Amino acid sequence: NINLKPAPYFRKQFEAKKKIKSARAYITAGGLYELSLNGDRVGNHRMDPTYTRFDRRNLYVTYDVTRHLQNGKNAIGVTLGNGWYNHQSTAVWDFEKAPWRNRPTFCMDLRITYIDGTVEVIKSGKDWKTDLSPIIFNSIYTAEHYDARLEQSGWNTTNFDDSKWKRVIYRSAPSQNVVAQALHPVRNVEEIKAKSIRKFNDTTYLFDLGRNISGVSKITLNGQTGTVVRLKHVERLYANGRADMSNIDVHYRPTDDKDPFQTDIIILNGKGKQSFMPHFNYKGFQYVEVSLSKPLDLKKEDLVGYFMHSDVPIAGSVNASDTLINKIYYATNNSYLSNLFGYPTDCPQREKNGWTGDAA
């Protein structure tokens, strides 16, 4: 069902009966994925695999996972996001009508080499199990919604009881052409602390990062169960200091009010301090307006931003005696990085489309 909102979990438990020499994981997905082994996330990439014409070509990523495995019982966990494969948000480009559109799916091989030279391959198959995650909605174009009340602690570890989970089914691959992803990965390259916070009332705050970035925000808070938190990400403000979305939502065509543009939604579980950062979305923003269904006392330190982009190496720099030239270089460089997500884009908020800068 391509209209099913929650992101799926998948898990597989297996036993390594001999001493492990090395191990590699090979994984591809229609959509986006996050991989974990024994409760630990594998790698620090974001938004893998990179966007392709899914019905013609798919990319796989390879990880050295030797340090994540142990003798005896092990558990694999996979979370899938929609990405551009199952675009549920509606905009002027009609990505929801894409010929490749389908519910997210994945394929994985875990190749283990033992000390005695033998090799075992743990594959994705019908012996895996699946359930829905607390990520109740995710759109690479708009935002992510998370209901912490639905969390299943330890779901990707060996001690978890998955007896109520369902068996998986086989799916057709998006295409038969699966090739290695040979490019610099997207990462949370830089953490940016909030420069200031403004309190409008007990349920509304505005955080200012002091600079415009592509990426995500991460908020840490402690509130009553059922408290709804909305984080609206914008690039400019109205005269009264509130978030102004009018310059970036111009191509969005929502069919209802359940998927507000660049607005993450969190529902707290009341179990103490918790942090939230989107898994399968990024935005363009400088300001984050936080609205709460119940009063909370927020501080500037409760929110940080992460500048996300393809983690390309620096090839050179500019350092001129004229400060204006330095500022132009800094702004230009950051603009290019904000539009580099495995492919060059036109903007990290309004469109997110591939663009080679060919417009006059």
CATH code given to domain 188-310: 2.60.120.260
Cα–Cα distance for residue pair 105/59, rounded to 1 Å: 13
169-182 pLDDT, tens digit per residue, is: 999 899 999 999 99
User: Same fold for the domain at 8-183 and the one at 188-310?
Assistant: yes
Q: How many CA atoms lie within 13 A of 331 on its CB side?
A: 6
Q: Which residue(s) pair with 27 in the sheet?
A: 61, 108
Q: Is residue 200 helix, strand or coil?
A: strand
Residue 153 is encoded by which pair of tokens? 């602690």
Cβ contacts of 84 within 8 Å, gap of 6 or more: 51, 54, 95, 98, 140
pLDDT of residue 359: 62
DSSP 8-class letter at 50: P
Total number of residues shown for the chain: 360
Report field, pTM of the whole predicted structure over 0.85: yes
Segments in the chain below pLDDT 70 = 359-360
Report, in angstroms and rounded to the nearest whole number, the Rg of the chain calculated over CA atoms. 21
Cα–Cα distance for residue pair 254/209, rounded to 1 Å: 28
Q: How many CA atoms lie within 13 A of 39 on its CB side?
A: 10
Cα–Cα distance for residue pair 143/269, rounded to 1 Å: 20
25-84 pLDDT, tens digit per residue, is: 999 999 999 999 999 999 999 999 999 999 999 999 999 999 999 999 999 999 999 999
Cα–Cα distance for residue pair 89/10, rounded to 1 Å: 24
Cα–Cα distance for residue pair 160/11, rounded to 1 Å: 10
The three state secondary structure string of 107-134 is: EEEEEEEECCCCEEEEECCCCCEEEECC
How far, in whole angstroms, is CA 333 from its chain's centroid? 23
CATH: 1.10.3720.10, 2.60.120.260, 2.40.160.10, 3.90.1170.50. Which one for 8-183?
2.60.120.260
pLDDT of residue 360: 47
Burial of 16 (0-12, 13-18, 19+ CB in 10 A): middle
pLDDT of residue 345: 95
Alpha carbon of 268 to those of 107, 202, 286: distances in Å?
A: 33, 17, 25
> Domain limits of the chain?
8-183, 188-310
